[in-house]
Each structure stands twice: as C-alpha cells, then as structure tokens.
A and B are shown apart, each in its own frame.
Chain A
Amino acid sequence: MKQIIIALGSLSALGGIFGLLLAWASKKFSVAIDHRITAVTDLLPGANCGACGSAGCAAFAEALVNKESELSRCVACNDQARCEINKVLGISSLQNCGEQQVAVIKCGGGKSENKFIYKGLKDCRASAGFMGGHKQCEYACLGQGTCIEVCPFGAIEMQDIGVPVINPELCRGCLKCVQICPRNIIEMHSKKKTVYINCSSLEKGADVLKKCKSGCIGCGKCVKICPVGAIKLENNLAVIDYTKCINCGKCVEICPTKAIKNTSLIKSVG
C-alpha cells in the first residue's frame, strides 16, 4: 500500500511540475496568430493555382491580410466568397475585389473543313507544329484536347463537333488552358457577362465563309443592334467591350452565323 502511495504521489508531483513548466512555456514562447489569415484561407478556393502570384492560397491570404496584395488578383474566387473575404478584411465596398473570371474557347469549329487527315500525336502543340495545323482555318481549334488534359478541375469536355467546351460552373479561371493553347483562342472573361464571340478568325468575311459555316464574318449586325454600343469590329472580328456590356443577349439572336454564344446555355451541354 505504501509503495502505491509513494508512486502515485511522486508521479502527480512530477505531473504538476511539468504542467506548470508547459503553462509557463506556452505563455513565454507563444506566437501571435492573426485569425483573419485562417479565415481568409478557408474562404479562398484552395486550388493553389498560383495565378495571383503568391505561392498558394495560404500565402495569398497572408498577403491580403498584410495588404501586400489585392483580392482582384484571384481569378478563381466566386462572388459570395469575395464579399465574405471583404467582411473579414474590414472592407465595406466591392471595389477592387474583381469578378470571377472564366475561360471560353472562341471557336465554333467542327464545320471548319480539314486540310488533311492528321494521324500524329494526340496533342494540339504537335498538331500545330506540323504544316500549321490540319484545319483549313488557321484560327480554328485543333481539337486534340490538350486543354482537357491540363484542366485541374475537369471543367473542359469534348463536344461532338470536335471542339471542347468549358463549363463555367466548374471553371476556376486558373489560366492553364489559356497558356497551353497553341492557337491562343481561349480567352478569360467575367462570369457574369455570359455572351461571347465564338470565333477568333481575323480573315475577311468571304474567306471565313469558304472555310467554316460558324465563323464571325464581320457583317456588323451585332454592332448596330447593341443598345449600349459595346460591340465594335476589329480586324474583321466583332469584339465585345465587357465594361459596357449589359448582357442583354440581343447580339446572340441577331448573329446570322450563330457566332455569338451565351455561356449560360453551356450548362446543359457540359
């Protein structure tokens, strides 16, 4: 009995001493944590894509809290999260926080006829390097699906017409497809403005029509119908100024070759 009491007593004494030591150490060596950083990290998309220029979402959150970066540099964040992050950071307005950007592939393709049958590697970069690509139109999507391979979110799918489509709901705007496309026909635009020109050809209308049935022929009908004057023709191609665009969709209806598309309709496809 005596031994048990001695063992119990000495162990509790030791426990007490170590407990006090730890309590003192935690006060003495404590590191101040800014709870805003963890809160912002949780709200960021967590894709760690690096498009903001920081090493990842946690590093970006720290930079935001320390006012070394701006929220507009994040392209993947959705609008709700942007409001929440602004609340955490104590910024009331939505100014400078940017809008969620999504990618679109600007080619109606499919109907663009082939110059020859390409039997090489299934990679757009290889295809573009051989005789300038197998499509007649030199702005056409080559359809080998390299963007599908690189998309980390599985947002890109191949359509029946041989041109991939990006689902705006899944796209987080990491720019990987934009950077890898050898034809440079993938473009970023605000997720809220759903209309876009589904063609990249800078050729004259007649030449476009010879090669493709779904290209922009530069007829200028959309320019005339746009109620806010947001569309203009540049090098035979219609260009939408998204700062003016009110997303009314009138240009989509008027376009004779159906070269203006609305991403809100893509959901049913993707």
Chain B
Amino acid sequence: MMLSFCGGKHLSSYKQLTKDKPIKDFPLPKQVVLPLIQHIGAPAEVLVKVGDLVKTGTKIAEAKKLISSPVHSSISGTVSKIVDAPHPVLGKCKSIYIDSDGLDTFDPAIVKRNNYANLSKDELLAIIKSAGIVGLGGAAFPTCVKLNPPCPIDSFIINAVECEPYLNCDFRLMLERTEDILQGILLVKRILNVDNVFIGIEADKPQAIAVMRTAVRKLNLAIDVVSLKTKYPQGAEKQLIKAVLGREVPSGKLPFDAGVVVNNVATILSVYDAVALSKPLYERVITVTGKALKEPANLKVRIGTKFKEIIAYCHVGTKPVSKIIMGGPMMGLAQFTDDLPVIKGTSGILLLAEDEGCEFEQQPCIRCGRCVDVCPMRLLPYALSLCAQKRSFDLARAYNPFDCIECGLCTYVCPANRKIVEQIKLTKIVLK
C-alpha cells in the first residue's frame, strides 16, 4: 500500500511532452518587466529611478515589511520606466522595466562563497531574505518567513511531487542538479534544526526517485526519499504532510502547527544558489508546454521575460491556441494576453489547442457525490456550490469554505459541468 491521502484522483499527466527535454537556457531578453508584487505579502519598495544603470542581480526593490520580498534586476541595462503593467495574477501591478545592454554583466556582489558551512542560522536567514527567495511551487510565500516558524517543529518535507499535469520543471531539476539540491536541503535542515527530513516524490517519476536515492546514499545522509502514490493533488502542502507523516493539519491552521515545514524542491535549489553562489533569485526554470506548441521545452528564463517571447521561441504549431495558462491546467490561471512577464511563482506556461479546451453549460446538481469522493480536504463541494448558487453565503459558512485549497478536482469530475471551484471562490470573497 503506497503512501497517500484520502480523496484525490489520478489524472492523465501529459508529462511526456517535455519529460525528456533537458533544461535549456533561454536567450537573454531585450527587455524585462519586474512587478513589485511577485509574492504573498506587502509590495516591495522601489530603490531605483528611471535612467539608472543596473547589473544582473542588483537589488532594485527592497522588502520593508516583515512579510515581503525584494526584487532583483534579471539583466544588466537601464531602468526605462516604472509604471503599471499587466500582471499574470493580479491583472495589473506597478512594475520596473529594464532595457538590456546585451552584456549581462553581473553585480559585483555575486561571488562564490567558500565558507558557507560556517554561517549561523541568522546569517543564513538574512541571505535568503535579501536574495528575494519565495516559494517557487506557485504560491510564492517568502521563504525566510517560512523557515523561521514561531513554534518548534520536528520534520522537514521537500515537496518534489509535481502533481500538476504537464509540468516537468521540478523533475528536470532533480535529474540535472541532484547534488546541489541535497546541499540546499542540508542548509535548510541546519536552519530548522530538525532530524526528520523527507523528500516526497510521486511514483510516476521512478527516474527521479532513483537518482535522489543514489545521491543520498553516496553522501551518506539521513534523508528519506519517499515514493508517493500518483494522485492529484499529492503536492498540496496538507496532503503531502498527511501522506508522508500521517499527520493532519487542523482546519484553519498552518503546517508548522503540525510541527512540519514543507518546501518546494526548486526553492531549496535557489536557497543553495543564494548561499553558496550568493546569487539572488533572478531566474527560474519553467516548463513551456501544450499541444499547441511545436517545440515544448524546459527553459531556464530570467524573471520578467515576456510570455510572448518565450512562446515564440517554442514555436506555435498549426493548431489555433485556445488558452494561455500560467501554471498547470488544474490550478493555473488563464491569461487574456501574452504581453505578461514571467514572475517568481510562474512554474510553467501552458498553451492549450482549440480541440483541448471545451466549454460546457452548467447543469443542475444531481447529488451524485463524485465531488465529495475526490475532495482532498474532505469538504462537501456540492453543498458549497448550491449555497453560492442560491446566494445563501451565510449557510455556506457551516461547510468550511476557507478549508478549500481550490485544487479544482470537484469541477473536473462533475458530470453536470458545475463551476464548483468558482462558486467556492466567490463564497470566500463574500464571506471574507
């Protein structure tokens, strides 16, 4: 019996599109757009002005609040304007435009650190904060806050599940930068001061499990590489904790209340880069995929690169594109323009061809209970949906809408094509 959680569903993965494609460096963009909000929390505050010369890795916006994250220039060049620009999550956000000088000269502060093994916990946290590292799984919560939990914890789980269909960026990182990831894990382990360390990987990535296990054995580390049942949403924080440790995070609480910290594998790698190479978070690996593309790929792109440049690089095929989605098909956000920057939380760009996405008319609920079967949070999605449809939001409160992680499975399985997640999102907006 493989480790897993209640509910969930095995989805068609579509991962073969980019599974065997090594990470390629995306050519240097001519211009980047860097939004001041790329994370959960307060916006960063601008440090530069129009006309300033910046280098790759120069801090251009500083986090002044506790829960916030700085922004670094991802190319060298000139700040051309600071205006409102389209943003893939918020719709619109104040952003810094930088025009490239084509040289990609690095900030002098980016040098290899040899003595990082001797740094104290506070020094490491300060490095992580000033490198602007946020959770790269998609939620983009500032990592330095997460690694400084207010109560004692005993376990640390590395989220390498990547349960969203189509996405492969974490899988490729595990194959290509195995040892750096392990070094990163050791750094975080030292910050958290825990003994139990787990790497959770879904069983449909046997290659990654084998590579990680061999590396752990070679370095003789006390890290448990756990193979998990292939089931969406295995990579959701609370579901991962349930599967690996059998612990349940109480309703309305956070993982550290259950004594656990969970971090995405790409975040761990950027922690390693920040500490060992003093490299701030100015680039990330994304999966650009979908049947509408001729050459889907795993690309290492600079933050702030425009979607349209990346899509052009991967060549749109003959099939007309019906949707551009930032992230995976289940939890990603559909976009209305391709004039958008890649932000820290962008794990992929998915282009659906016309025959892939289809629209249905919403029908009345037939009380079949399929949504109840699959709900990983064990809610009653049909009841929440009906409350929202009848505009009885006060009744919905009894069904705990705020526990919903918006994984989208209820909508996916609904035979009546009900827009259940949208209705739960509306309930959350109204009750907030």
Partner of A129, one of B336, B337, B429: B429
Expressed in whole angstroms, the minimum distance between the Cβ of B8 and any Cβ of chain A is 25
Residues of chain A contacted by B426 (CB below 8 angstroms):
121, 123, 125-126, 129
A95–B423 Cα distance when bound, in Å, is 48
Max count, chain A CB within 10 A of own CB: residue among B90, B337, B425: B425
A1 touches B (CB below 8 Å) = no
- Among A123, A125, A131, contact of B91 (Cβ-Cβ < 8 Å): A131
Which residue in chain B gives the minimum CB-CB distance to A149? Answer: B391
| Chain B residue at minimum C-beta to C-beta distance from A121 | B422
B122 close to A (CB within 8 Å): no
Residue A90 at the chain B interface, CB threshold 8 Å: no
Chain A residues with Cβ below 8 Å from B92 are 132, 138
Contact indicator per residue, chain B 404-432, by CB within 8 Å of chain A (1) or not (0)? 00000000000000010011011001100
For the complex, give the distance between the alpha carbons of A125 and B337 in Å: 22
**Quick check: is A116 within 8 A (CB to CB) of the other chain?**
yes
Q: List A contacts of B422 (CB < 8 A).
A: 120-121, 126
**Quick one: closest A residue to B90, CB to CB?**
A132
> B84's closest neighbor in chain A, by CB?
A138
If the complex has contacts A116-B336, A126-B429, A129-B429, are A121 and B391 also in contact, measured as CB distance less than 8 A?
no
Nearest CB to that of A129 among chain B residues? Answer: B429
Among A115, A119, A121, A130, contact of B423 (Cβ-Cβ < 8 Å): A121
A123 (CB) vs chain B CBs: closest residue? B426
Question: Total contacts A to B, CB within 8 angstroms?
Answer: 34
List chain A residues, Cβ under 8 A from B425: 126, 129
**Chain A: how many interface residues by the 8 Å CB criterion?**
16
Chain A positions within 8 Å of B333 at CB level: 131
Residues of B contacting A133 in the complex (Cβ-Cβ under 8 angstroms): 91
CA distance A131 to B92 in the complex (A): 8
A132 partner, pick from B91, B359, B419, B423, beta carbons under 8 A: B91
A residues near B430, Cβ cutoff 8 Å: 125
Query: Do B419 and A120 touch across chains, with their CB atoms under 8 A apart?
Result: yes
When chains A and B are docked, how far (Å) is the Cα of A120 from the Cα of B420?
Answer: 11
In the assembled complex, which residues on chain B have CB atoms less than 8 Å from the CB atom of A129?
425-426, 429
CA distance A61 to B110 in the complex (A): 75
Docked Cα-Cα span, A5 to B370, in Å, equals: 79
Q: DSSP class of B's interface residues: helix, strand, loop or mixed?
A: mixed
Q: Which residues of B lie under 8 Å from residue A138 when comparing CB positions? A: 92
- Tell whether, in the assembled complex, residue B423 and residue A131 are in contact, meaning their CB atoms are under 8 Å apart: no
A residues 110-156 touching B (CB-CB < 8 Å): 115-116, 119-121, 123, 125-126, 129-134, 138, 149
| Cβ contacts under 8 Å, B419 to chain A | 120-121
Complex Cα distance, B333 from A125, in Å, reads: 18
Cα–Cα distance between A133 and B429 once the two chains are bound (Å): 14
CA distance A91 to B277 in the complex (A): 82
Chain B residues with Cβ below 8 Å from A131 are 90-91, 333, 336
Of chain B, the residue at the smallest CB distance from A150 is: B391
Nearest A-chain residue to B92, judged by Cβ: A132
Contacts of A125 in B (CB 8 A): 426, 429-430
Considering the complex, give the chain B residue whose CB is closest to the CB of A138: B92
Cα–Cα distance between A226 and B429 once the two chains are bound (Å): 42
User: Which residues does chain B contribute within 8 Å of A116, judged by CB atoms?
Assistant: 336-337
Minimum Cβ distance to chain B for residue A50 (Å): 16
Least CB distance from A8 to B in Å reads 61
Query: Hey, which chain A residues are within 8 Å of B337, CB to CB?
Result: 115-116
Chain B, Cβ-Cβ closest to A120:
B422
CA A121 – CA B430 in complex, angstroms? 14
Alpha-carbon distance between A125 and B431 when the two chains are bound, in angstroms: 11
**Contact flag A119-B359 (CB < 8 Å), given A126-B429, A131-B336:** yes
Report B99-133 CB contacts with A as 1/0, cut-off 8 Å: 00000000000000000000000000000000000
Q: What separation, in Å, do the CA atoms of A132 and B91 have in the docked complex?
A: 6
A262 vs B91: C-alpha distance in the bound complex, in angstroms? 34
B391 proximity list for chain A (CB < 8 A): 149
A134 to B426, CA, bound (A): 16
Q: State how many angstroms separate the Cβ of A178 from the closest Cβ of chain B.
A: 16
In whole angstroms, what is the CA distance A65 to B91 when docked? 53
Query: A28 to chain B: closest CB distance in Å?
Result: 46
Docked complex Cα distance between A129 and B388 (Å): 15
CB-nearest residue of chain B to A133: B91
Chain B residues with Cβ below 8 Å from A126 are 422, 425-426, 429
Nearest opposing residue in chain B for A182, CB measure: B429
Interface membership of chain B positions 330-348, coded 1 if the CB is closer than 8 angstroms to chain A and 0 otherwise: 0001001100000000000
Q: Which residues of A contact B423 (CB under 8 A)?
A: 121
Inside 8 A of A130's CB, which chain B residues have their CB?
A: 91
A210 to B429: give the CA distance in the assembly, Å.
31
Fill in one digit per residue for B65-92: 1 if any A CB lies within 8 Å of its CB, else 0.
0000000000000000000000000111
The minimal Cβ–Cβ distance linking A52 to chain B, given in whole angstroms, is 23
- The answer to whether A115 and B90 touch across the interface, beta carbons within 8 angstroms, is no
What is the bound-complex CA distance between A203 and B425, given in angstroms? Answer: 30
- How long is the Cα–Cα vector from A150 to B425 in the complex, in angstroms? 20
Q: Which residues of B contact A123 (CB under 8 A)?
A: 426
Distance between A20 CB and nearest chain B CB, rounded to angstroms: 53
> Please, which residues of chain B bring their CB within 8 A of the CB of A115?
336-337
Q: How far is the CA of A149 from the CA of B422 in the complex (A)?
A: 19
Shortest CB distance A180–B (Å): 9
Counting chain B CB atoms within 10 Å of each CB, the highest count among A119, A129, A133, A134 belongs to A129
Determine the distance from Cα of A131 to Cα of B335 in the docked complex, in whole angstroms. 9
Those of B334-370 within 8 Å (CB) of chain A: 336-337, 359
Chain B: minimal CB distance from A123 (Å)? 6
Cβ of A121: which chain B residues have Cβ within 8 Å of it? 419, 422-423, 426
Measured CB to CB, the closest approach of chain B to A139, in angstroms, equals: 13
A136 to chain B, nearest CB (A): 11
7 contacts between A and B (CB under 8 A): A115-B336, A119-B359, A120-B422, A126-B425, A126-B426, A132-B90, A149-B391
Sample of 4 further A-B pairs with CB below 8 A, known A129-B425, A132-B91:
A120-B422, A130-B91, A131-B336, A138-B92
The 4 closest A-B pairs by CB, nearest first: A116-B336, A132-B91, A131-B91, A126-B426
